[in-house]
Structure 1
Amino acid sequence: MQQLLLLVAFLLPAGAGAGEIIGGQEARPHSRPYMAYLLIQSPGGRSACGGFLVREDFVMTAAHCYGRTINVILGAHNIRRQERTQQRLSVLRAIRHPGYSEQRLQNDIMLLQLENRARRNRFVRPVALPQSKTRLSPGSLCTVAGWGLISQNRRTDTLQDVQLRVQRDQECSRRFGPFNGQTQICVGNRRERKSAFLGDSGGPMVCNNVAQGIVSYGSNNGTPPGVFTRISSFLPWINRTMRRFTQQGNQTETSYD
């Protein structure tokens, strides 16, 4: 199934260049203090994804970034260096949306409850989430960030960002059979060589300082548009899940749901 291959291509093994942004530039160091770099261990091996801090004890990412063990790096600019700004935290619990479908590429959202709360400072700070289900208008300008390759064969270890515009749903419906405009956002002008790319899954799309989307899948050569999970469609589940597991606290044993 072509779409499944496209999604898998967004999740590369660590060392193969995870977190790729095409057509962007190096971000100003620590200008996006919500960014998280995920190191994932699963039966298939090691991989990496993007993510973002939404509360001191929760990181949001894509459901297909799931693994048996996940570690989070916050406060990083260069993910290959031991920067003094970095906080490295273990994940206590990975909670995929119950409706996530790997086959249909739907409900691609996951919350990671951290074993210890992040220390909030100017290098590490949560990003705001939408307060309502208001839809972004086509043409809205947003920013996507990630680490890794800046083309199909060029690496970078520093955080990159790129500005992308929201497209009409029809742009993605024509290209991707499973696309659902109610829960997904079509992002990136096909006439521009700008996009999130391989391994950048789970990273945020931020519009006017609010995280509106999560990198989900796209074409296997990085040609826009790409598909992002629409965060506003999942607000009840997000709030309910964070409330539930905060109440449980650390009294339960470490587990992955």
Structure 2
Amino acid sequence: MKPLLLLLVFLLCPRAEAGKIIGGREAVPHSHPYMAFLWIKTPTKTKRCGGFLVREDFVLTAAHCWKRSRSITVILGAHDIKDNERTKQIIPVKKAFPHPDYNSNYFNDIMLLQLEKKAKLTAEVSLLKLPSRKSQATPGMVCTVAGWGLIGQNISTTKLHEVQIEIQKDKECVSRFKKVYNSTIQMCVGNPKENKTSFKGDSGGPLVCENVAQGIVSFGEKKGIPPRVYTRISSFRLWIEKTMKSFKLQGQD
């Protein structure tokens, strides 16, 4: 079965889980060229997550998006995941590298996906810069998160949506999530007074602050009430570098 036909089957599957951007708007087509749509398949169901291209052959996402029984296909260069856009690149994942210390409390919720072949960089497919190890995204900064899926109660979309959200002080998430929030490896994001947030299915997508990926959508309350918890990328920069360095860029000697 051809990749685009497989994608159509997935989109029509009634058991597929949808993602949400709440309180946002449709993004300008291809204004987030680093975004990756992850189509995750098991023998019994399908799921979607977000991710982003950090090297021509590596996508960064959340570890909780994957289990060993799952296969993942990455779709780059998409705006409307339903349309057969000429800009799309559909690439299977060769190997998944969830952080070795990831656990069910979403600690260390980060994963690298090695692609079967390197992506072709174009105006619609590009890399997203990672923060330095000492980089700090501070409370009050307004950043952007994007994803595909529901945009309201029972309102779905196949087009990429975006929302601007504010980084919060750690105490906002400590009070809400108690012992499952760790400020050294996580970030608290989303003003509790505003109905603007990422939600289920946006997992793995980047929190972009001043053109740098500072966070990865991780978890929050089931109803999608902000703030929500994001993985702090700067805390994992050494692990990211070591993991990707283990594999030469495909196509190079």
Normalising by structure 2, report the TM-score: 0.90
Task: For 1:149 and 1:14, locate their aligned partners in 2 and report how far apart those are by CA, in whole Å.
Answer: 14
Which residue of the partner structure matches residue 9 of structure 1? none
Task: For 1:14 and 1:223, locate their aligned partners in 2 and report how far apart those are by CA, in whole Å.
Answer: 26
Q: CA deviation at 1:41?
A: 1.3
SS of 1:245 mapped into structure 2: coil
Aligned counterpart for 1:74 among listed residues 73, 76, 97: 76
Q: CA deviation at 1:14?
A: 7.4
Which residue of the partner structure matches residue 25 of structure 2? 25
SS of 2:246 mapped into structure 1: helix
For residues 63-122 of structure 1, give each alpha carbon's deviation from its aligned partner in whole angstroms, at most 9, with x where no partner exists. 0111421000000000111110000001000000000001x2100000000000000010
Which residue of the partner structure matches residue 37 of structure 1? 37
Which residue of the partner structure matches residue 4 of structure 1? none
Amino acid in structure 2 at the alignment position of 1:192: E
Gaps of at least 5 residues in structure 2 are 1-12
Amino acid in structure 1 at the alignment position of 2:111: M
Whether contact under 8 Å (2:16, 2:46) holds in the other structure is no
For residues 23-75 of structure 1, give each alpha carbon's deviation from its aligned partner in whole angstroms, at most 9, with x where no partner exists. 00000000000000000113552111000001100000000111421000000
Which residue of the partner structure matches residue 47 of structure 1? 47
Which residue of the partner structure matches residue 58 of structure 1? 58
SS of 1:185 mapped into structure 2: strand
Does 2:146 align with 1:162?
no
Q: CA deviation at 1:123?
A: 0.4
Give the fraction of aligned pairs with identical amino acids, expressed as a percent.
Answer: 56
Task: For 2:96 and 2:247, locate their aligned partners in 1 and report how far apart those are by CA, in whole Å.
Answer: 11
Does 2:150 align with 1:149?
yes
Aligned counterpart for 1:197 among listed residues 196, 199, 203: 199
Whether contact under 8 Å (2:23, 2:197) holds in the other structure is yes
Which residue of the partner structure matches residue 129 of structure 1? 130
Q: CA deviation at 1:246?
A: 2.6
Amino acid in structure 1 at the alignment position of 2:222: N
Amino acid in structure 1 at the alignment position of 2:123: R
Whether contact under 8 Å (1:205, 1:212) holds in the other structure is yes
Whether contact under 8 Å (1:18, 1:48) holds in the other structure is yes
For residues 180-238 of structure 1, give each alpha carbon's deviation from its aligned partner in whole angstroms, at most 9, with x where no partner exists. 00000000000000000121100100000000000000111111000000000000100
Which residue of the partner structure matches residue 229 of structure 1? 231
Q: CA deviation at 1:129?
A: 0.3
Which residue of the partner structure matches residue 173 of structure 2? 172
Whether contact under 8 Å (1:127, 1:211) holds in the other structure is yes
SS of 1:235 mapped into structure 2: helix
Q: CA deviation at 1:16?
A: 4.6
Gaps of at least 5 residues in structure 1 are 1-12, 251-257
User: How many pairs are equivalent?
Assistant: 236
With over 3 angstroms needed to count, the CA separation of the structure-2 counterparts of 1:129 and 1:42, relative to structure 1, is same
SS of 1:227 mapped into structure 2: strand
Task: For 1:118 and 1:202, locate their aligned partners in 2 and report how far apart those are by CA, in whole Å.
Answer: 19
Does 2:245 align with 1:243?
yes
SS of 2:155 mapped into structure 1: coil
Which residue of the partner structure matches residue 7 of structure 1? none
Which residue of the partner structure matches residue 97 of structure 1? 99
With over 3 angstroms needed to count, the CA separation of the structure-2 counterparts of 1:14 and 1:129, relative to structure 1, is farther
Whether contact under 8 Å (1:14, 1:47) holds in the other structure is no
